[in-house]
Structure 1
Amino acid sequence: MNFMLFATTVLIWGSTWIAIAFQVGDFPLIVSVFYRFAIAAVCFIPVLALTGQLSFPALRHHPFIIAQALCLFSMNFVLLYSAALYIPSGLIAIIFSLSTIYNALNARLFFGESIAPRVLLASLLGLAGLAVIFLPDALGEIGDAAAPSDTFRGVLLAAAGTLLFSWGNMASRRNATHGLPTASTNAWGMAYGALILIVLIFATATPIMPPPDLTYTLALLYLAVFGSVIGFTTYLLLVVRVGSSRAAYATVLFPIVAITLSALFEDYQITSTTIAGMLLALAGNIVMFSKLKITRSAANRI
């Protein structure tokens, strides 16, 4: 079971980055994220209700569900979609893979879990990988301008979105430990996320426009149904079953899927520098889980 959750998460979320790239451009980012989670909630809640799996948590749990919505189903994606304006989707996936390190540190902060010495080495490898990939371009783009380069801006946005994602993992873990069903909590969280986004849309006077074309619409439906409803459910079930740090190991394989799709659909040129940096970043994640073997038999033993 753990292996199937792991494989499904990798394949779905590894491919969502290119779908996000198809949605960014002239269309308002906040509206795209709102559509994604509004559709996800509208699909998810009735299905759970019809199958008898929908529960309404006690009011004392709702602040934590809202926290999960802020970090997993709204603001994190506003940042990640914004990052896609500046850097290719495959590179965003590499940054997102560092959530393994974020999760280990946040598990220590929020749940008192000990941090193994390998976390420091993993962090250094991950940061070195990002530096190899992004630093040359960032330095080359700065020029005489005082503002950060587009590459640097994209890296910061993706890193901030990944941090929020990790905080959302902690909120989800807290909700699960208090007996809240993962699927039902996700459904209400997506509804809260859509409400947060609609408030932000009106607060910023952002126009709500219909989907501009078929490519956008298909990408939106894929992100809403597969990337949100199915992807988040399989990932957060994995968090419940094996812990947030081990579940985040799935993000180690995201860049491989995402970089391949980015090269196919975004004409991203994979260079030796990209490969070297990606290998360093992946090595950092592998060091984090040096005692784990992600195979069918190993996954079922976790």
Structure 2
Amino acid sequence: MPFSRLAPLTLAAFLALYVVWGSTYLVIRIGVESWPPLLMAGIRFLLAGSLVLAYLVWKRTPWPNARQLGGAALLGVLMPAIGNGLVTVAEREVSSGAAALVIATVPLFTLLFARWFGHRSRPLEWAGMALGVLGIALLNLGSSLSASPRGAALLILASAGWALGSAWSKKLPQPAGAMGSAWIMICGGLALVASSFAVGERLAAWPGVEGWAALLYLTVFGSMIAYSAYLHLLKTVSAAAATSYAYVNPVIAVLLGAVFLGEHVGVHEMLAMMVIVTAVVLISWRR
């Protein structure tokens, strides 16, 4: 459907994903300088989900049933906890631009998982997947990821977790509307905080202004606004359209990282970005 025919709320949701999520890679990179990564991600989602839930309770929104809460818990583990938590951990070792480039492969994983739910892949989609794998290989030849195999592995696992949650969300029972966003963020936040305690994360020092500002931005814009926008798009447009943020986020993240953090963008990174974005375009292409 052409953008001119989309509802204003849907257009606003696309804008939030394209711009806000593209900037969150930079903000996460700043935040992990002050916060343990799993703890920061857990607080972010717990706070965002609790604020949304408190508003919905005040509005007397109907409470979800047990099956819906179970679906929200599963999606919370797959998307905020695995999909975002592992990105936050990886950004202690890799640049924000490189992280965004790997996460741009989410539509490739989404296509794979969609086959479990009855989607039949077209030849063009398989070509896009092959091109995406080539893009990841090129990215690993560059300086950003080759120095951190662990960071690269965490980012690929994050992409797979987010993609599985995105594909499964079409089938799982879950709370409707903002109630679903709230519970998914709360469940993901609880899983992240539990993981933080399990691995023994500790605050080395009380975060400064930059650390608190990063947490506030990620809570309000990256979670309450952009995450709710993504769940809205998953319910109102196709999965391919909902994951189209993957075209734009890497470019924004690479530019912001280069401008504000002085991150190096080499030939391998630029070539990988073009290959990965082309692969995503092929996968999402419709006549």
SS of the residue corresponding to residue 206 of structure 1 reads coil
Distance of aligned partners of 1:272 and 1:196 in 2 relative to their CA distance in 1, 3 Å threshold: closer
Q: What residue is the counterpart of 1:131 in the other structure?
A: 137
1:4 lines up with 2:4 in the alignment: no
Q: What residue is the counterpart of 2:94 in the other structure?
A: 87
SS of the residue corresponding to residue 285 of structure 2 reads coil
Shift of 1:61: 2.5
Could you report, residue by residue, the CA deviation over 1:199-254 in whole angstroms, capped at 9, with x for unpaired residues?
33333343367851110111101111110111111111111111223211122111
Distance of aligned partners of 1:255 and 1:59 in 2 relative to their CA distance in 1, 3 Å threshold: same
Alignment of 1:5-24 (within 5 A): 5-24=13-32
Q: What residue is the counterpart of 2:198 in the other structure?
A: 203
1:120 lines up with 2:126 in the alignment: yes
1:158 lines up with 2:155 in the alignment: yes
Counterpart pick for 2:182 among 178, 187, 194: 187
Distance of aligned partners of 1:180 and 1:78 in 2 relative to their CA distance in 1, 3 Å threshold: closer
Alignment of 1:213-232 (within 5 A): 213-232=208-227
Counterpart pick for 2:245 among 236, 250, 260: 250
Q: Please give the alpha-carbon distance, in whole angstroms, between the structure 1 residues aligned to 2:254 and 2:221.
A: 19
Shift of 1:279: 0.6
SS of the residue corresponding to residue 87 of structure 2 reads helix
1:169 lines up with 2:166 in the alignment: yes
Unaligned stretches of 5+ in structure 1?
142-148, 293-302
Q: Please give the alpha-carbon distance, in whole angstroms, between the structure 2 residues aligned to 1:7 and 1:19.
A: 18
The question of whether the paired residues in 1 share the 8 Å contact of 2:97 and 2:254 is answered with yes
Q: Please give the alpha-carbon distance, in whole angstroms, between the structure 2 residues aligned to 1:233 and 1:72.
A: 12
Distance of aligned partners of 1:7 and 1:182 in 2 relative to their CA distance in 1, 3 Å threshold: same
1:263 lines up with 2:271 in the alignment: no
Report which stretch shifted further, 202-211 or 186-195: 202-211
SS of the residue corresponding to residue 74 of structure 1 reads helix
RMSD: 2.2
The question of whether the paired residues in 1 share the 8 Å contact of 2:68 and 2:174 is answered with no
Distance of aligned partners of 1:167 and 1:159 in 2 relative to their CA distance in 1, 3 Å threshold: same
Q: What residue is the counterpart of 1:108 in the other structure?
A: 115
The question of whether the paired residues in 1 share the 8 Å contact of 2:38 and 2:89 is answered with no
Shift of 1:76: 2.6
Q: Please give the alpha-carbon distance, in whole angstroms, between the structure 2 residues aligned to 1:55 and 1:47.
A: 12
Distance of aligned partners of 1:289 and 1:205 in 2 relative to their CA distance in 1, 3 Å threshold: closer
TM-score, with length taken from structure 1: 0.85
Shift of 1:262: 0.6
